[in-house]
Structure 1
Amino acid sequence: MAVTDDAILRVREMIVTGELKPGDRLPREADLAERLGLSRNSLREAVKALSLVRVLDVRQGDGTYVSSLRADDLLGALSFVLELHRGQESTLEVLQVRRILEPAATAMAAQRVGPEEVASLRALCDTAESAHSLEELVAHDLEFHQAIARCSGNAYLAQLLETMAGPQARTRIWHGIAEGGAVERTVSEHRAIVDALANRQTELARSWSTVHVAGVEQWLVGLS
């Protein structure tokens, strides 16, 4: 194991065990390095790596602190990585993950969704149907899927799906959908999902969500 990797594991262990809690200030570099049996250079590299993924917060002139460790903060690093890898192959892999997670979130939402949320989802379908630009379609699509994920009641799942729903990739996909004349079909699938949610038909909601994401995935495969 590389020395820096070992240093990362040591610091991570302190956080996982609760020795260091969110908001805690790390001991001085020299003291922590001696305590962990690490060189100051390897500890410095570990801190740099953990700050990049937002586990640690380095404040110049003040010290290094454990971040809030909130899911939305930590997953922000994943969002950055995904935006760096937005080629066709990477986008397809992200869709494959969405095809696993979104139907599960939709099924969970069917058990919890309320009348106001259903009304909001129907309104999003209406506005998408009358959208005048690609930007509007992308915005409505993002809000539609994010709203369903939030209805799942699982904050981690909702945040993960939101992180994977990069606007750049969706813009490209919606551009293809619009050019192929499939906007009406896509909105129709959205409405079918909402109907299943409104009627608390868990498995039907899951199925429509699977069909919806799989259809986009098939379209992308057809481009290769």
Structure 2
Amino acid sequence: MAVTDAAIDKIKEMIISGELGPGARLPKEADLAERLGLSRNSLREAVRALALINVLDVRQGDGTYVTSLEPHLLLDALSFVVDFHRDDSVLHFFEVRRILEPAATAMAATTMTDDDIEDLRKILDSLPEEPSAEELMANDLEFHQRIAAGSGNPVLRSLIEGLSGPTARARVWRGLTQEGSQGRTREQHIAIYEAIAARRPDVARSWATVHIADVEEWLRRVL
């Protein structure tokens, strides 16, 4: 194992054990290096790597702190990786969406409050009769984000939102080029909403699967 990797593991163990909790300040560099049996250079590299993925926050002139470790913060790195994919590997992201979003939708059918469900209906009603591709996409993103949030699981929500980049671009492309796609999207959104409103998680899961698979299969054909 590389020295830097070993240093990262040692800091990670301190966090996992609870010795360093969210918001905690790390000991001074010289003290921590001596305690962990590391060179100061190795410790600096480890801190730099953990700061890049938002585990640590290096504050110039103040010290190094553990971040809040909130899921949305830790999963920012996923969005960074996702945004570099522009070829047919976007299909891999759709496959992951097809696994995650139906589960989130089923959970939302049991955990969303009545007010949350009413807000979901308002999102659908706010879409113009003949929306542009951009208006449809904005509405689509808000609809799915609200359902992901309604799952009640912040990790699941962050994963789904992290996958929205390349799949959103593919959906815009479809909306501009495939006849009837906007109408199908609207119909499927309504079906998902109605299943959630009726508190029918299995039906909500099924419609979410159909909705994502519809775009995925179109993309497979055009690629």
Q: TM (normalized to structure 2)?
A: 0.93
Equivalent residue, structure 1, for 2:190: 191
Q: Any conservation in 2 of the 1:103–1:205 contact (CA below 8 Å)?
A: yes
2:89 is paired with a residue whose SS is: helix
Q: Is the 8 A contact 1:128 1:187 kept in 2?
A: no
Q: Indicate the residue corresponding to 2:56 in structure 1.
A: 56
Q: Which residue of 2 aligns with 1:171?
A: 169
Give the match for residue 20 of structure 1: 20
The aligned counterpart of 1:113 is 112
CA distance in 2, matches of 1:179, 1:105: 29
What secondary structure sits across from 1:88 in the alignment?
coil
Say which SS state the counterpart of residue 168 (structure 2) adopts: helix
Superposition pairs of residues 35-184 of structure 1, within 5 angstroms: 35-84=35-84, 86-130=85-129, 132-166=131-165, 169-181=167-179, 182-184=181-183
Deviation of residue 65 (structure 1)?
0.9
Q: Does structure 2 retain, via aligned residues, the 8 Å contact 1:134–1:171? A: no
Q: Aligned pairs, how many?
A: 222
SS at match of 1:65: strand
Q: CA deviation at 1:126?
A: 3.1
Instruction: Please tell me whether residue 29 in structure 1 is matched to residue 29 in structure 2.
Output: yes
Aligned-pair Cα RMSD in Å: 1.6
Instruction: Give the CA deviation at 1:115.
Output: 3.3
What CA distance in whole angstroms lies between the structure 2 residues aligned with 1:121 and 1:6? 47
- C-alpha distance in structure 2 between counterparts of 1:171 and 1:99, whole Å: 17
Offset of residue 199 of structure 1:
1.2
Q: Which runs of 5+ in 2 are unaligned?
A: none
1:131 to partner: Cα distance? 5.3
Alpha-carbon distance in structure 2 between the residues aligned to 1:207 and 1:54 = 36
Asked if the contact 1:25–1:63 (Cα under 8 Å) also holds between the matched residues in 2, the reply is: yes
Instruction: Name the SS of the counterpart of 2:61 in structure 1.
Output: coil
Q: Counterparts of 2:126 and 2:7 in 1: how far apart (Å)? A: 52
What percent of counterpart residues are identical?
Answer: 54
SS at match of 2:6: helix
Structure 1 unpaired stretches of 5+: none
Q: In structure 1, what residue type is equivalent to 2:68?
A: S
Per-residue deviation at 1:2?
Answer: 1.1
Whether contact under 8 Å (2:51, 2:58) holds in the other structure is yes
